[in-house]
């Protein structure tokens, strides 16, 4: 039996589908039964729990050969990341009680970075879950290609997409969420000892390459324009953020090159899905 968190999202959903395609027994962890019904109809067990419920998570992970765990995205955290720390304490407690055979945890490129930024939250995850005696893989995924979903309307309507990644011709390691889910499924079925780190990317993709993919898919010119660094804080606050600094620091890390892959002691895995496939699917809705 394999337990999957986040099956109602892109990565967890892709992992669950990949495991079902392999014929593996699956327990899907959801916050309410209604969200689990589509998975139940596909033959999955349903466990009701969330990251405020250590006992419920422990029951969900109990008796499993392996469990996939992840944190919900938080782009506007408190300065001390106390929300993340609380969820990690709950997750740690649940894993200590349940002791599944193996754990795969979704991390990120840049989790090891010591400079302050948004991705420090995943560094905290790696620190919290690296437990001797419990084989744990931290899957450091690259920038999600599906972030281009935010550019669909602008590409289609105006032919211009705004980019916080700069310079526009600089490739950044990227990955499709479908590749992340497929990799999660594969990792869950492997055997290993102790903690390990896997880096996952499908190659480098620049903002100009994203614009070109939109242009090919739409059939008209699309270009990328850089958003001036001086405007970031005002833009993010106008979108409702109260603490935009960590997000800005993260973008600085990508743009300045101190958030990157190739860390010593890590294992590299390669994704297969390219930016053209992702953009075509995004445009299709």
Supply the CATH number for residue 242's domain.
3.40.50.720
Q: What is the mean pLDDT of residues 13-41?
A: 94
Q: How many CB atoms lie within 10 A of CB 149?
A: 15
Beta partners for 270?
201
Length of the chain, in residues: 285
Quick one: what percent of the chain has pLDDT higher than 70? 100
| 224, 161 Cβ separation under 8 angstroms | yes
Residue among 74, 76, 174 nearest 125 (CA)? 74
> 3-state class of 102 per DSSP?
coil
pLDDT for residue 170: 97
Is the per-residue pLDDT at 92 higher than 90?
Answer: yes
Q: What is the mean pLDDT of residues 260-265?
A: 93
Is the per-residue pLDDT at 5 higher than 90?
Answer: yes
Q: What is the mean pLDDT of residues 42-50?
A: 95
Residue among 128, 85, 132 nearest 105 (CA)? 128
Q: What is the mean pLDDT of residues 250-254?
A: 98
Would you give the DSSP letter of residue 76? S
Instruction: Tell me the residue range of the domain where 203 lies.
Output: 2-283
Is the per-residue pLDDT at 222 higher than 90?
Answer: yes
pLDDT band at 285 (very low <50, low <70, confident <90, very high): confident
Residue-averaged pLDDT of the chain: 96
pLDDT for residue 275: 98
Is the per-residue pLDDT at 11 higher than 90?
Answer: yes
Would you give the DSSP letter of residue 101? S
pLDDT for residue 177: 97
φ and ψ at 35, to 5 degrees?
A: -70, -25
How many separate domains does the chain show? Answer: 1
pLDDT for residue 132: 79
pLDDT band at 133 (very low <50, low <70, confident <90, very high): confident
pLDDT in tens, 138-172: 999 999 999 999 999 999 999 999 999 999 999 99
Its pTM surpasses 0.85: yes
pLDDT for residue 181: 97
Is the per-residue pLDDT at 71 higher than 90?
Answer: yes
| 144, 177 Cβ separation under 8 angstroms | yes
pLDDT for residue 131: 82
Quick one: what percent of the chain has pLDDT higher than 90? 96
pLDDT band at 223 (very low <50, low <70, confident <90, very high): very high
Burial class (CB in 10 A: 0-12, 13-18, 19+), 102: buried
| 61, 90 Cβ separation under 8 angstroms | no
What is the H or E stretch that residue 138 is in? strand 136-141
Residue among 10, 52, 47, 55 nearest 29 (CA)? 47
d(CA 117, CA 248): 8
Is the per-residue pLDDT at 90 higher than 90?
Answer: yes
d(CA 229, CA 18): 40
Strand 45-48 relative to strand 195-201: parallel, antiparallel, unpaired?
unpaired
């Amino acid at each position: 039996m394999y337990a999957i968190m986040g099956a109602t999202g892109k990565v967890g959903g892709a992992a669950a589908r990949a495991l079902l395609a392999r014929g593996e027994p699956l327990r899907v962890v959801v916050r309410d039964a209604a969200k689990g019904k589509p998975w139940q109809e596909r033959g999955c067990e349903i466990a009701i729990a969330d990251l405020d419920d250590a006992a419920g998570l422990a029951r969900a992970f109990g008796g499993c050969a392996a469990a996939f765990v992840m944190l919900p995205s938080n782009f506007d955290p408190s300065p001390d990341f106390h929300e993340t720390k609380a969820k990690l304490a709950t997750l740690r407690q649940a894993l200590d009680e349940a002791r599944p055979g193996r754990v795969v945890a979704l991390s990120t490129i840049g989790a090891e970075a010591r400079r302050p930024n948004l991705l420090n939250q995943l560094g905290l995850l790696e620190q919290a879950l690296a437990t001797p005696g419990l084989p744990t893989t931290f899957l450091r995924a690259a920038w999600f290609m599906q972030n281009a979903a935010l550019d669909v309307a602008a590409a289609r309507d105006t032919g211009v997409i705004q980019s916080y990644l700069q310079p526009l011709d600089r490739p950044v390691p990227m990955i499709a969420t479908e590749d992340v889910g497929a990799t999660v499924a594969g990792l869950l079925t492997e055997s290993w000892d102790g903690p390990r780190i896997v880096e996952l990317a499908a190659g480098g993709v620049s903002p100009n390459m994203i614009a070109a993919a939109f242009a090919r898919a739409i059939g008209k010119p699309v270009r990328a324009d850089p958003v001036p660094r001086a405007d970031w804080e005002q833009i993010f606050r106008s979108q409702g953020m109260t603490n935009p600094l960590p997000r800005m620091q993260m973008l600085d890390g990508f743009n300045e090159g101190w958030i990157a892959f190739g860390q010593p002691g890590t294992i590299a895995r390669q994704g297969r899905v390219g930016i053209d496939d992702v953009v075509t699917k995004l445009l299709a809705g």
